[in-house]
Amino acid sequence: MLVLGIESSCDDTAAAVVENGRKVLSSVVSSQDSIHAKYGGIVPELASRRHIESIIPVVEEALDAAGVALKDIEGIAVTQGPGLVGSILIGLSFAKAVSFGAGIPFTGVNHIEAHALAAFLFEQGPEKETPGFPFVALIVSGGHTTLLLYKDFTSYEILGQTLDDAAGEAFDKVAKLLGLGYPGGAAIDRLAKEGRANAIEFKRPYLSKGNLDFSFSGIKTAVLNYVRNHKGGIGPDLLKDVAASFQEAAVDTLVMKALWALESSGAKDLVVAGGVACNSRLRARIAEKAQEEGIRLFMPPPKFCSDNGAFIAALGYHQLKKKLYGGLDTNALPTWEGF
């Protein structure tokens, strides 16, 4: 089954064509970073306006790159939440219109739940090994930090989630206060490579032993206080140390909670996905732990960790197989338990 995946929940307009929920025939992402960078964060109204301009060219490019026409598409998967409501409406309305016009069924996909299915995608060559159920997924993005236990492609339990800021949000806010621009996760990652991770001891927000919820606002405030109170200002070397020490505290927390989630659920397989899963230190630390503890780790390549249409199509495929079709007349975004 060829599924067209459409994603517009935040600031990227993306579309992809995926075969049988796994083989990526094309994946096109149109980034809006340059539009929002000067405001230091996403401006929702500008994001939805740009989605309107981009959605048709992005979908056409995805079909062309896959070498298929709309008549070859057997199902449409579109992000229906969570995200910025104006942004979601563009992708969702577009998908409904194409579904109606071309007579193709569509299904609305939960963005966070879909992030984990990036672990099933491949592009070239033989099919890769895939996670076995039940598996734990650590989804770390700009909007969410969540531990899920997948029992099947479309059924899971929420093990823990952030009580305040998402991990990516903490990276972005710390980057902003360090003057590194927006979005700042990748900038912290780059700068931290030249700094000392143990230079400043930022308190790890573990909450309590075994607690699978997250809290990142405390580390962010600790960095802010450190920067404000440091006499003599933050020179280039200290800036690297602050970036590396903050990153280490955030990564420590993510790695620890992922391990606790495996321990408490008894699952052996771990998926790490979402934009923050592009972080080189997180990737290295979690890979090291997985090796030590005999955990089967599935960490998609960075281009499938950050937002794209391919993981939307991957989950959409399983929903469409179960005939979980979206209705053209439902304009309210369904609420999704737990989020």
Please work out the total of residues on this chain that contact Zn ion, with binding judged by CB under 5 A: 2
**What, of Zn ion, ligand KG4, none, does residue 183 touch, CB below 5 to 8 Å by kind?**
ligand KG4
User: What is the four-CA torsion angle of 152, 154, 155, 158, rounded to 10 degrees?
Assistant: 110
Alpha helices in 67-130 (DSSP H): 85-102, 111-115
- Residue 10 interacting with ligand KG4 (CB under 6 A): yes
Token digits for 335? Answer: 């609420």
CA dihedral sign of residues 190, 193, 199, 204: positive
108 binds, among ligand KG4, Zn ion, none (CB under 5 to 8 A by kind): none
> Which among 120-128, 167-175, 258-266, 313-321 is the span making contact with ligand KG4, rule CB under 6 A?
167-175
- With CB under 5 A as the contact rule, the residue among 107, 141, 145, 253 that binds Zn ion is 141
Residues 113-132 that bind ligand KG4 (CB under 6 A): none
Residue with Cβ nearer ligand KG4 (98 or 183): 183
Alpha carbons 220 and 202: distance in angstroms, whole number = 9
Q: In what order do the strands lie in the sheet with 2-7?
A: 23-30, 13-19, 2-7, 75-81, 106-110
3-state secondary structure of 156: strand
User: Applying CB under 5 A, does 12 fall inside the site for Zn ion?
Assistant: no
Report the DSSP beta bridge partners of residue 106. Answer: 76
Nearest distance, CB of residue 329 and ligand KG4, angstroms: 28
Write out the binding residues for ligand KG4, residues 245-284 only, by CB under 6 A. 274-276, 278-279
Measured from the CB atom, the residue of 49 and 303 that comes closer to ligand KG4 is: 303
Q: Which of 19, 96, 7 minimizes the C-alpha distance to 54?
A: 7
In this chain, which of 251, 306, 314, 326 binds ligand KG4, going by CB under 6 A?
306
Q: Which of residues 261-290 bind Zn ion (CB under 5 A)?
A: none
CA atoms within 13 A on the CB side of 235: 3
128: amino acid identity, one letter:
K
Cα distance between residue 182 and residue 314, in whole Å:
29
CA distance 16 to 7: 9
Binds ligand KG4 (CB under 6 A): choice among 131, 142, 160, 309 = 142
Among 7, 113, 269, 307, which residue interacts with Zn ion (rule: CB under 5 A)?
A: 307
Q: Which is nearer to ligand KG4, 105 or 302 (CB)?
A: 302
Cα torsion 197, 202, 208, 210 to 10°: value is -20
Distance from C-alpha of 168 to C-alpha of 170, rounded to nearest angstrom: 5
Q: Check binding of 91 to ligand KG4 (CB under 6 A).
A: no
Residue whose CB is less far from Zn ion, 32 or 245: 32
* Binding residue for ligand KG4, selected from 120, 153, 171, 260, defined by CB under 6 A: 171
- Which of the ranges 24-32, 52-60, 98-106, 139-147 carries the binding residues for ligand KG4, by CB under 6 A? 139-147
H or E segment to which residue 138 belongs = strand 135-140
The site for Zn ion (CB under 5 A) is made up of 141, 307
The site for ligand KG4 (CB under 6 A) is made up of 10, 141-143, 168, 171-172, 183-186, 189, 274-276, 278-279, 306-307
